[in-house]
């Protein structure tokens, strides 16, 4: 079974919506927890959060697609 190779899968934006939602959620969680001082890092904090969430999503998504395409 191959996943994501047909035309409807190419226009499906569910994964993009998920990663953008995860970035927003992680930003709110970090601000509420007070782990990082916003004055200290500023814009770099948001770049860091975005990079880490995107990297985790990208690796996980690749593993999931590879795992399902093996069968």
pLDDT digits (tens, 9 = 90+) for 2-61: 555 666 766 778 877 888 888 888 888 888 887 776 667 778 888 888 898 889 888 988
HEC readout, 6-24: CHHHHCCCHHHHHHHHHHH
Lookup result for tokens 């047909």? 6
Average pLDDT, the chain: 78
Whole-model pTM: value is 0.66
């Amino acid at each position: 079974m191959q996943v994501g190779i047909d035309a409807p899968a190419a226009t499906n934006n569910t994964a993009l919506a998920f990663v953008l939602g995860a970035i927003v959620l992680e930003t709110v969680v970090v601000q509420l927890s007070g782990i990082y001082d916003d004055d200290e890092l500023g814009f770099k904090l948001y770049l860091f959060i975005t990079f880490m969430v995107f990297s985790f999503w990208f690796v996980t998504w690749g593993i999931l697609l590879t795992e399902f395409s093996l069968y």
